[in-house]
Amino acid sequence: MADDQPETISLYQQMDQESLSLDSRFTFLCQADLPCFNQCCRTPTVILSPYDLLRLKQGLGITSGQLLERYTRQEIEPNSNLPLVFIDAYRSPKGGCPFLGEHGCTVYPHRPAACRLFPLTMGSRVTPDGVVDYYFRRRLDYCQGFAAGVEWTVASWIADQGFAEYDQGRREWLEILLKAGLTERLVVDAHIQDLFATLAYDLDKFRRLVFDPVFLEAYDLEAEALEDLKTDDLALLKFSYRFLTTVLSPEGARLLTAVIRRSTKFFEID
């Protein structure tokens, strides 16, 4: 890691600088009768973790390829040079999150971690003891939810919004991204970016690759583990995290690239 590590690394740029602890208090109440209702979903900056994508594709009953194609865009994260996936809020002429309906969020039970945490956001720092998280309050001028309402602590808000499960599901990916951003010798070219994007974000394509005979020949997988990977999206996601680290090493990327070149299933269309 470089000596001049940034103090805190966040995947989000807009946040107040004062960090909150899990015990910090704030008042907030979002209600459908507020004049700002849905306004926050018209220009959202929502990064989708692999776990967010998994839950959304399951909730919508579509493949990960269809989800990525219809609702998202990608950007390169400047510290790591690795791709991030965002909800594409600018695709339609009307603008706004594509999941926003007349009466609010149409994917509410499967909404991503960032939407669950809002009006808070999270930054993380890599320390010798692991990743340490910081919470921040996002203050949007038009948001009237802070004006009055229920008193929360950061911890009680997280519990109420079901954020912990989503945070847990993305942890390994987050750590890989943060550490990649601090590793000077890491060379991430367009090919590595493509590999990373497929492994991290396109779970169904990754599944096709895993069950290609070329892959099975190159990587020695136990029959029992394979059975899980066939049907269990979460098990497959965790397995893909192992390969994210692999593609960031020159040898690992070379082997996986050679496997993909010989794979026919990888190139099948959803």
Q: Which is nearer to ligand SF4, 50 or 145 (CB)?
A: 145
Q: Which is nearer to ligand SF4, 105 or 155 (CB)?
A: 105
Alpha helices in 48-153 (DSSP H): 50-60, 64-71, 113-117
Give the number of residues in contact with ligand SF4, rule: CB under 6 A: 23
- Report the nearest approach of ligand SF4 to the CB of residue 15 (Å): 15
Binders in 7-36 for ligand SF4, by CB under 6 A: 30, 34, 36
- Among 24, 39, 79, 183, which residue interacts with ligand SF4 (rule: CB under 6 A)? 39
Listed ranges 19-27, 106-114, 122-130, 203-211: which one lies at the site for ligand SF4 (CB under 6 A): 106-114
Virtual CA dihedral for 105, 111, 112, 113, nearest 10 degrees?
A: 110
Binders in 128-187 for ligand SF4, by CB under 6 A: 142-145
- Among 12, 37, 211, 219, which residue interacts with ligand SF4 (rule: CB under 6 A)? 37
Is 41 a binding residue for ligand SF4 by CB under 6 A? The answer is yes
Quote the CA–CA distance of 241 and 254 in Å, as a whole number: 17
For 120, the 3-state DSSP assignment is strand
- Among 48, 53, 100, 247, which residue interacts with ligand SF4 (rule: CB under 6 A)? 100
- Report the nearest approach of ligand SF4 to the CB of residue 23 (Å): 23
Residue 50 backbone class (left: φ over 0; alpha: ψ -120 to 50; beta: rest): alpha
Amino acid at 27: T
Q: Which residues pair with 73 in a beta bridge?
A: 86
- Report the nearest approach of ligand SF4 to the CB of residue 151 (Å): 16
- Among 48, 82, 115, 176, which residue interacts with ligand SF4 (rule: CB under 6 A)? 115
Quote the CA–CA distance of 109 and 87 in Å, as a whole number: 16
Q: Which is nearer to ligand SF4, 36 or 234 (CB)?
A: 36
Quote the CA–CA distance of 23 and 229 in Å, as a whole number: 39
- SS3 assignment for 17-68: CCCECCCCEEEECCCCCCCCCCHHHCCCCCEECHHHHHHHHHHHCCCHHHHH
Residues that bind ligand SF4 (CB under 6 A): 30, 34, 36-41, 44, 46, 87, 97, 99-100, 105, 107, 111-112, 115, 142-145
